[in-house]
Amino acid sequence: MAHLDRVFHSLSDGTRRAVIAQLANGPASIGDLARRHHMALPSFMKHMRVLEESKMVASRKVGRVRMCQLRPKALTAAQTWLARERRVWEARLNQLDSFVEALAAEEHSNGRK
Amino acid sequence: MAHLDRVFHSLSDGTRRAVIAQLANGPASIGDLARRHHMALPSFMKHMRVLEESKMVASRKVGRVRMCQLRPKALTAAQTWLARERRVWEARLNQLDSFVEALAAEEHSNGRK
DNA sequence: ATCAAGGTGAGCCATATGGCTAAGTAATTG
DNA sequence: CAATTACTTAGCCATATGGCTCACCTTGAT
C-alpha cells in the first residue's frame, strides 16, 4: 500500500523523526524547525513535504509564517502494521512451543514404554 | 540513529514488508521468496540485503540454498520508537485537555461572580 | 513607499534505490 | 564427469533522495 510506504519512508530519516518528536510537544513554524536542524529552508521544506504527503503532519499559513503540527493519527498506520505482524509472529512461536512440548511429551511416553 | 534509519527504510517498501509478513509464518529460502514476488533473483537479493543490514532478518546457507528467517526482535526497535513518541504526544494532549478544562472552570466561576 | 523577514520555486549536484541481464561459483543430480 | 540448480557478483539504467544556491513573492514593520 502506497500510504504505508510513505509513512515508513517518512520515519526512515533522522531529521524527520526529530521533527515528529518535536512537534509532539506542540506546533512550530517551518523557519523555527529548520533553524533547529541547522538546515537551509528549501532543504528543510523537502522533509516537510514528505511528512505532509504521508499525512503525519499538517500545516497552514498564518500571515507569512507556516505553522506545522502533528496530525492526530500520525503514527497509527505504522503502529497497526507492526502490531499485526508481531501478533502473527508470536502466534507462530507459540505454535512452535506447543509443537516442541508435544514432541517432548511423546518422547517421554516413548521412553516410559 | 543509523539503525532506526535502516529499520524504517526496510519497512518503507511493500516487497520487503511482504517478505517480513511471510517470514512471520516460518523460514523460507531466497529462491522461494523471490518466486513469490515475481522478481529476478539479483533484484530480490538487494531487498534481502537491506533486511539483513537492518537486523530484521537472518540467513544462513544450507548446501546451496540460503534459508532466511525473521529475527526475534525484528520489530521492537520500530515499535519502541513509535510507542515512545505516541506517549509524549498523548501526554501533551492531556495537558491541553486539562488546560482547556481549567479555562472553562475559571470562566464559569467568573460568570458566577 | 520601502525594506526586512519568512517562505516558495527552479534547478544543480552527488549519491542511493530498485529493477534488469550476463557471467560467474558452488552444491546436487544423473 | 556432465548437466542442472541455487545463489552470487558485476555492472547497466532510470528515477528518487537530500543537500545546496539563487531568484522570487508575500506579509509585516518603519
One DSSP character per residue, chain B reads -HHHHHHHHHHTSHHHHHHHHHHTT--EEHHHHHHHTT--HHHHHHHHHHHHHTTSEEEEEETTEEEEEE-TTTTHHHHHHHHHHHHHHHHHHHHHHHHHHHHHHHHHHHHH-
CA distance A26 to A4: 24
Measure A9 CA to C15 C1' (Å).
Answer: 17
Chain C bases closer than 7 angstroms to a protein Cβ: 5-11, 17-22, 26-28
Nearest to B8 among A12, A79, A86 (CB): A12
Cβ distance A89 to B79 less than 8 Å, yes or no, reads no
- Is B30 a residue whose pLDDT tops 80? yes
CA distance B91 to A20: 15
- A2-73, which class in CATH? mainly alpha
Using CA coordinates, name the residue in chain B closest to A90.
B24
CA distance A83 to B8: 15
pTM: 0.87
Measure A17 CA to D22 C1' (Å).
Answer: 29
Residues B71, B20: contact at Cβ < 8 Å? Answer: no
Identify all chain B residues contacting A95, using CB atoms and an 8 Å cutoff: none
Identify all chain B residues contacting A82, using CB atoms and an 8 Å cutoff: 75, 78-79, 82
> Could you report the per-residue pLDDT of B75-93, keeping only the tens digit for each?
999 999 999 999 999 888 8
> Could you report the per-residue pLDDT of B32-61, keeping only the tens digit for each?
999 999 999 999 999 999 999 999 999 999
CA distance A20 to A37: 13
Residues B43, B57: contact at Cβ < 8 Å? Answer: no
